[in-house]
Amino acid sequence: MERGSDGTSGGRLRRCIIKAQRLLSHSLSYLENELSNLTLERIEQELRLLNANMAEANDIAMLAAYSSMPADLAEDSRQALRRLRDKMMERAKTRADL
């Protein structure tokens, strides 16, 4: 039943197979790109979370340093440090809501 490539049954079957292979190849390329994009998005999300965690750890370390202010520190310096501490706490709370 197989005939030549002059448009008969065998030729049409070969063309269909070639088209199917191309379609499959394009579909696989599309899926690979989509998976790559998803992977990159996950990596980016993890890096953002890591950055937020490091910033929060830095804020906590600074808060610990401010908790023991020297007795001879001027009152305006104490107030400035308290404002800074409060500002850092607000930033930490905001990041926690990510």
Q: Does residue 3 have a pLDDT over 70?
A: no
Is residue 52 within 8 Å of 98, Cβ to Cβ?
yes
Backbone angles phi, psi at 8, to 5 degrees: -85, -175
pLDDT of residue 14: 79
Min mean pLDDT across 5-9, 45-49, 54-58, 72-76 is at 5-9
pLDDT of residue 24: 80
pLDDT of residue 1: 45
Quick one: tokens of 19? 């088209």
pLDDT of residue 2: 47
- Residue-wise pLDDT for 16-40, tens only, equals 788 888 888 878 787 777 778 878 8
Is residue 55 within 8 Å of 95, Cβ to Cβ?
yes
Higher-confidence position of 95 and 41: 41
